[in-house]
Amino acid sequence: MKALWAILAGALVVSCGGSPDEKQASPTDTDTSTDTQTESDDEDDEEEVVQKKPKKKAAGLKPFKFANKASSAVSGSGDDIVDFELKSGLALFELSHAGDSNFIVHLVGDDDEAYVANEIGAYSGIVAVEVEETGTHTLEVRADGDWTAQVLVTDIAKSFPKAIEGASAGVSSVFPMKRNERRKVAVSHRGSDNFIVHLADARSGEDIDLLANEIGDYDGNVLVKAEDASYYVITVEADGEWSITLK
């Protein structure tokens, strides 16, 4: 009987304790798995930071192109009319007159009307005109001598010109200015009639700022201001020698 109880007790111990070769999962093994997962998540976060796209830089000015390209010169003697095909924007007219009396040039379009020249006697100059409507424009010329007229273009500079000069109506090269850029210039004129200087938008031809409006000789320092980033030209109406110099 005692032998039977001993056998039953041994069987009970074996069934409750399990196989002696079977291993139990330890707390250390579980913690290692968790740490590995955390390190993997950190690496993913670092990769996401690296893959962020850099911010785009602000776009600069588009390359400048004249609205109206150079044309062939036309010529005449006395009163005459001639047509030009013009696009809206800046148009530069080069004019000359070899007479003794009035030389009046009037540009007329469907929605445009401007005096390009109103002089007496011999004349040679370049005049900037703001063309508002694309289409056929008529140049009405009143003269007592030989004259010429043509559309031209000027140079395109990389920055504000250091100096420009002339002896009658003239236009500077096209130049860029940044938003709110300021430039100090010395302005001089030696003549007896009107001396008018404008800063104009080189794309539209619109006058932006009046820099000088004098009669006769003039010397002064002027601030050229650009409210917007754009391309500009300086236009001059004069009857004598003039100069504009960057300070």
Domains of the chain: 63-153 (2.60.120.380), 154-247 (2.60.120.380)
Question: How far is residue 232's CA from residue 172's CA, in Å, rounded to a whole number?
Answer: 9
Q: What is the pLDDT of residue 14?
A: 38
| pTM of the shown model | 0.74
Digit-coded pLDDT (tens) for 215-235: 999 999 999 999 999 999 999
Q: At 67, phi and psi to the nearest 5?
A: -65, -35
Report helix, strand or coil for 31.
Answer: helix
195 in Cβ contact with 237 (< 8 Å): yes
Digit-coded pLDDT (tens) for 166-208: 999 999 999 999 999 999 999 999 999 999 999 999 999 999 9
Digit-coded pLDDT (tens) for 75-99: 999 999 999 999 999 999 999 999 9
Q: What is the pLDDT of residue 9?
A: 40
pLDDT at residue 246 tops 90: yes
Question: How far is residue 171's CA from residue 140's CA, in Å, rounded to a whole number?
Answer: 22
Digit-coded pLDDT (tens) for 207-218: 999 999 999 999
Report helix, strand or coil for 245.
Answer: strand
Residue range 9-32: mean pLDDT, rounded? 44
Count Cβ atoms below 10 Å from residue 87 Cβ, excluding itself.
14
pLDDT at residue 15 tops 60: no
Contacts (Cβ under 8 Å, ≥6 apart) of 168:
123, 124, 125, 238, 239, 240
Taking Cα atoms as reference points, which of 154, 108, 155 lies closest to residue 131?
Answer: 108
Q: What proportion of the chain, given as a percentage, has pLDDT over 90?
A: 73
Digit-coded pLDDT (tens) for 130-144: 999 999 999 999 999
Confidence at 112, pLDDT banded by 50, 70, 90:
confident
